[in-house]
Chains A and B, each alone.
Chain A
Amino acid sequence: MTDATAKTAPSLDEMSPRRRQLAEFWFYFSENKGAVIGLWFVLALIIVAVLAPLIAPHEPYQQYRDAVLVPPVWQEGGRWEFLLGTDAVGRDILSRLLFGARYSLFIGIVVTAIALVAGILLGVIAGYFRGWIDTVIMRLMDIILAFPSLLLALTLVAVLGPGLDNAMIAIALVYQPHFVRLTRAAVMSEKARDYVVAARVAGAGPLRLMFKTILPNCMAPLIVQATLSFSNAILDAAALGFLGMGAQPPTPEWGTMLAEAREFILRAWWVVTLPGIAILITVLAINLMGDGLRDALDPKMKRS
């Protein structure tokens, strides 16, 4: 992405070849051990999600009626065929968790993508054109931000109808003001810079200016915000699932699994604990990675 600017915007730093930039980025990123661990974990999670049908010992929806609420294998009564035990209708928890990874990653990707794309579009428009269009967009964003995000998402999902698709749309809608604000601020500060003025003088049209010249130089904070959204989206989708408004049973989405398991809280700890751990670790890994990204991309942080 940054190399696109290298062609149009000749400034000292950006003159460096792409490889050097990457190497520099990796240098700062790998300095942060947590970030590297997070990265590995996320990669592993992606592999698990992709391969879930191959590595899961059972079908996630298959009900073993003779094996209801079997505890994990290390506990008395556990069975080797169900490593992490089974739930109330005899489904293998390990398999459901593995398939759940697909949902969580999918949620993160979709929400972030929608919020990012919509946010950038609106932000660039607002920041570049200013005037009434800016005012309208920013007031709209203020309105969205005036509600607590989860509450707004909850009501939105209630309006659209409970379900994973609608939950993702609602969460994306609630997140995109952050992207709008970031993009707008960056665009406004970049707009007056020399290289932009130069490009304009050279006859670049507004579209080109907005998206090819200015935008790539605002990417760093957006990437950091995107990782944040990614992990928050997983949390919020799980929360909606937990409240019964997200993915609907029997989908093996982690939050929904937790909601279904709530009545067994005192009797079968594994049905409650395991999905929660899965959520926590995934979100933690992404946040670790996000911290590393921020350190590597944010020049101010590099100095300190």
Chain B
Amino acid sequence: MKKKMAFAAALLAATVLGGVANAKTLVYCSEGSPEGFDPGLYTAGTTFDASSRTVYNRLVEFKHGSTELEPGLAESWTISDDGLEYTFKLRQGVKFQTTDFFTPTRDFDADDVIFSFERQLKADNPWNKYVAGASWEYSAGMGFPDLIKSIEKVDDHTVKFVLNHPEAPFMADLGMDFASILSKEYADKLQADGKLEQMNQKPLGTGPFTFVAYQQDAAIRYKANDSYWNGKPKIDDLVFAITTDASVRRQKLEAGECQIYPYPNAADVQALKDNKDLNVEEQAGLNVAYLAYNTLVAPFDKAEVRLALNEAINKKAIVDAVFEGQAQVAKNPIPPTMWSYDDSIKDDPYDPEAAKAALEKAGVKDLKMKIWAMPVSRPYMLNARRAAELMQADLAKVGVTAEIVTYEWAEYLKRSSDKDRDGAVILGWTGDNGDPDNFLDTLLGCTAVGGNNRAQWCNKEFDDLVKKAKQTSDQAERAKLYEQAQVVFKKEAPWATLDHSKVFMPMSKKVVGYTQDPLGIHRFDNVDIAE
């Protein structure tokens, strides 16, 4: 049966690919294999690019190139005054994709929305554990199980979400990948056939591209969804060529084996820019890397000590050595592309002399500390070890002896949240939904102490501002609160903010219409290939 299907898929593709000259094929050298094709189950951007951003849609979508929301499968919505009820008017006439493995008989409606969320929230839903070890990380991470009281079908094209408490970032959450809308009809069919796990292997949604085939660890193939509600994509075929090594991706682009790829090596960026046949788009990433002191442990419990250490670290040198200069020195805990970023804040200057004096004044002598360096490379910090070595040298200049320690990644994540942790931790964060709350409260709020708040920093003034902003639905008002919070943060310095990396997207000059998304997702529905 499986073989047959693969064959059919191949025939389908062969007919599409048959006239190679006529069909426009975009090959994207993706950075890794998708973990699966059900975006609710996973947390990796690689998986989302291959599933939620190609095959699926959400109630609301992020505008291309921005963190602002626009209507998706919901045409419009209203929020009750108490911020507890969200009512969505669904778009009508939206068709699910027709594939060789399933032919839908009805359009998208409220049942699909309810199915997509309930499977993640209700333990008794047959889809809650449909693959071994299924866990809904993002849904749990955004607090949905506690937040959502109920999801009600008002009529076929109206759905109401009732919340337990007001939560301003809720709309942004609905634009996230885990909130993708699946087909209930397809799910029922799979359930009837006893093939639930196929949902995670052969996705079917309303999105711009229809899934054709996945060749394990090698390639994923899609074709344009001709009946896409937002207009058929301009390319006919989309291929993800899975290429885990960045220098290999570069070689493939230069050899014309793919037309666009993400995450180039920092070392390659200049050469790519110099290549006449290529374009390199760049954008500030929605991320931050930081060094979090443990503010519960002396002498790091004193703000003046933390500020002095911040002055001792040459952040520019880190950006140069780790990112080849392709990153921005960070002064605030949120990235500059995010609304409410306070650009009027002045960064602590790099001034070893002043730092030395400040440390002396604070009565700190012969300070010995540990610097934790992450064992893995992340977009916000490509080489933590290198960064730590640089900091170590900088701190030595002000008389501080730093020892670099590291742990295996899972261990690192766990131990770094311990309240009595010894040392300052290099870590970072990539925004999930473009809401400042996702940085400021998640990483620095009092409730996150012992968890995501690696500085173990609980400051009443800061926390009140952030909590108030969470309950406020007016964005301008929220922005003001967040700006004040950033001032408090700078004064108290629980972190040394290190950098916001830049995100580069090298592509052939033939690729037109690609916009980089600050959320780090890769979408190809607007892309065309010039002849």
- Asked if A and B form a direct contact in the complex, defined as CB atoms under 8 angstroms apart, the reply is yes
Task: Give chain A's interface residues, CB within 8 Å of chain B.
Answer: 63, 65, 68, 88-89, 161-162, 248-250, 262-268
Q: Are B271 and A266 in contact (CB under 8 A)?
A: yes
A283 to B: closest C-beta gap in Å: 25
Q: Report B-chain residues with C-beta under 8 Å of the C-beta of A267.
A: 267-268, 271
Interface membership of B317, Cβ < 8 A: yes
Q: Are B317 and A65 in contact (CB under 8 A)?
A: yes
Q: Report A-chain residues with C-beta under 8 Å of the C-beta of B389.
A: 63, 89, 250
Q: Are A266 and B321 in contact (CB under 8 A)?
A: no
B272 to A: closest C-beta gap in Å: 10
Interface membership of B408, Cβ < 8 A: yes
Q: Kindly identify which residue among B246, B265, B271, B408 contacts A161, using a CB–CB cutoff of 8 Å.
A: B408
B243 to A: closest C-beta gap in Å: 14
Could you give, for residues 316-338 of chain B, a 1 whenever the CB lies within 8 Å of some chain A CB and a 0 otherwise?
Answer: 01001100000000000000000
28 contacts between A and B (CB under 8 A): A63-B390, A63-B393, A65-B317, A65-B321, A68-B321, A88-B321, A89-B386, A89-B389, A162-B375, A162-B408, A248-B385, A249-B385, A249-B386, A250-B389, A262-B245, A262-B247, A263-B246, A263-B247, A263-B266, A263-B268, A265-B247, A266-B251, A266-B268, A266-B271, A267-B267, A267-B268, A267-B271, A268-B267
B481 to A: closest C-beta gap in Å: 41
Q: Are B267 and A263 in contact (CB under 8 A)?
A: yes
Interface membership of B58, Cβ < 8 A: no
> Can you name the residue of chain A whose Cβ is closest to the Cβ of B314?
A65
Q: Report B-chain residues with C-beta under 8 Å of the C-beta of A262.
A: 245, 247
Q: Are A266 and B247 in contact (CB under 8 A)?
A: yes
Interface membership of B306, Cβ < 8 A: no
Closest 9 CB pairs of A and B: A263-B265, A265-B247, A263-B267, A264-B267, A89-B321, A249-B385, A267-B267, A263-B247, A89-B386
Q: Report B-chain residues with C-beta under 8 Å of the C-beta of A65.
A: 317, 320-321
Q: Are A266 and B250 in contact (CB under 8 A)?
A: yes
**Complex Cα spacing A262 to B265, Å:** 10
**Complex Cα spacing A184 to B428, Å:** 56
> Can you name the residue of chain A whose Cβ is closest to the Cβ of B265?
A263
**Complex Cα spacing A262 to B377, Å:** 14
Q: Report A-chain residues with C-beta under 8 Å of the C-beta of B251.
A: 266
Q: Report A-chain residues with C-beta under 8 Å of the C-beta of B246.
A: 263
B431 to A: closest C-beta gap in Å: 26
In terms of DSSP, what is the predominant structure of the interface of chain A?
A: loop
Known: A68-B321, A161-B408. A250 touches B268 (CB 8 A): no
Task: Give chain B's interface residues, CB within 8 Å of chain A.
Answer: 245-247, 250-251, 265-268, 271, 317, 320-321, 375, 385-386, 389-390, 393, 408
**Complex Cα spacing A88 to B251, Å:** 20
Q: Report A-chain residues with C-beta under 8 Å of the C-beta of B386.
A: 89, 249
Q: Report A-chain residues with C-beta under 8 Å of the C-beta of B245.
A: 262
**Complex Cα spacing A250 to B393, Å:** 14
A87 to B: closest C-beta gap in Å: 11
Q: Report B-chain residues with C-beta under 8 Å of the C-beta of A68.
A: 321
Q: Report A-chain residues with C-beta under 8 Å of the C-beta of B375.
A: 162
> Can you name the residue of chain A whose Cβ is closest to the Cβ of B389?
A250
B377 to A: closest C-beta gap in Å: 10
B388 to A: closest C-beta gap in Å: 10
**Complex Cα spacing A63 to B321, Å:** 10
B138 to A: closest C-beta gap in Å: 28
Q: Report B-chain residues with C-beta under 8 Å of the C-beta of A268.
A: 267
Q: Report B-chain residues with C-beta under 8 Å of the C-beta of A63.
A: 321, 389-390, 393
Q: Report B-chain residues with C-beta under 8 Å of the C-beta of A161.
A: 408
**Complex Cα spacing A250 to B375, Å:** 13
**Complex Cα spacing A103 to B386, Å:** 21
Q: Report A-chain residues with C-beta under 8 Å of the C-beta of B390.
A: 63
> Can you name the residue of chain B whose Cβ is closest to the Cβ of A161?
B408
Q: Report B-chain residues with C-beta under 8 Å of the C-beta of A249.
A: 385-386
> Can you name the residue of chain B whose Cβ is closest to the Cβ of A263?
B265
Q: Report A-chain residues with C-beta under 8 Å of the C-beta of B268.
A: 263, 266-267
A151 to B: closest C-beta gap in Å: 18
**Complex Cα spacing A114 to B265, Å:** 40
A242 to B: closest C-beta gap in Å: 13
Q: Kindly identify which residue among B250, B267, B317, B408 contacts A88, using a CB–CB cutoff of 8 Å.
A: B267
B289 to A: closest C-beta gap in Å: 18
B416 to A: closest C-beta gap in Å: 17
**Complex Cα spacing A272 to B328, Å:** 28
A42 to B: closest C-beta gap in Å: 33
For the complex with contacts A88-B267, A249-B386, A267-B268, 6 further pairs of A-B residues with Cβ separation under 8 Å are: A68-B321, A249-B385, A250-B385, A263-B265, A263-B266, A266-B250
**Complex Cα spacing A190 to B242, Å:** 57
Q: Report A-chain residues with C-beta under 8 Å of the C-beta of B385.
A: 248-250
> Can you name the residue of chain B whose Cβ is closest to the Cβ of A244?
B375
**Complex Cα spacing A279 to B420, Å:** 44
**Complex Cα spacing A63 to B267, Å:** 18
**Complex Cα spacing A224 to B524, Å:** 60
B224 to A: closest C-beta gap in Å: 34
> Can you name the residue of chain B whose Cβ is closest to the Cβ of A62?
B393
**Complex Cα spacing A267 to B389, Å:** 24
Q: Report B-chain residues with C-beta under 8 Å of the C-beta of A263.
A: 246-247, 265-268
**Complex Cα spacing A89 to B246, Å:** 20
**Complex Cα spacing A267 to B247, Å:** 10
Q: Report A-chain residues with C-beta under 8 Å of the C-beta of B271.
A: 266-267
> Can you name the residue of chain A whose Cβ is closest to the Cβ of B250?
A266
> Can you name the residue of chain B whose Cβ is closest to the Cβ of A267?
B267
Q: Report A-chain residues with C-beta under 8 Å of the C-beta of B250.
A: 266
**Complex Cα spacing A263 to B390, Å:** 20
**Complex Cα spacing A222 to B375, Å:** 40
> Can you name the residue of chain A whose Cβ is closest to the Cβ of B406?
A248
User: Among the interface residues A89, A161, A250, A264, which one has the most CB atoms of the partner chain B within 10 A?
Assistant: A89
User: Among the interface residues B267, B268, B393, which one has the most CB atoms of the partner chain A within 10 A?
Assistant: B267
**Complex Cα spacing A264 to B408, Å:** 26
**Complex Cα spacing A91 to B127, Å:** 55
Q: Report B-chain residues with C-beta under 8 Å of the C-beta of A250.
A: 385, 389
B524 to A: closest C-beta gap in Å: 26
Q: Report B-chain residues with C-beta under 8 Å of the C-beta of A88.
A: 267, 321
Q: Report B-chain residues with C-beta under 8 Å of the C-beta of A248.
A: 385
**Complex Cα spacing A268 to B247, Å:** 12
**Complex Cα spacing A267 to B246, Å:** 13
**Complex Cα spacing A32 to B359, Å:** 67
**Complex Cα spacing A268 to B385, Å:** 21
A231 to B: closest C-beta gap in Å: 28
> Can you name the residue of chain B whose Cβ is closest to the Cβ of A261?
B267
Q: Report B-chain residues with C-beta under 8 Å of the C-beta of A265.
A: 247
**Complex Cα spacing A160 to B149, Å:** 46
**Complex Cα spacing A265 to B247, Å:** 7
User: Among the interface residues A250, A263, A265, A266, which one has the most CB atoms of the partner chain B within 10 A?
Assistant: A263
> Can you name the residue of chain A whose Cβ is closest to the Cβ of B245?
A262
**Complex Cα spacing A265 to B265, Å:** 11
**Complex Cα spacing A34 to B317, Å:** 49
User: Among the interface residues A68, A88, A248, which one has the most CB atoms of the partner chain B within 10 A?
Assistant: A88
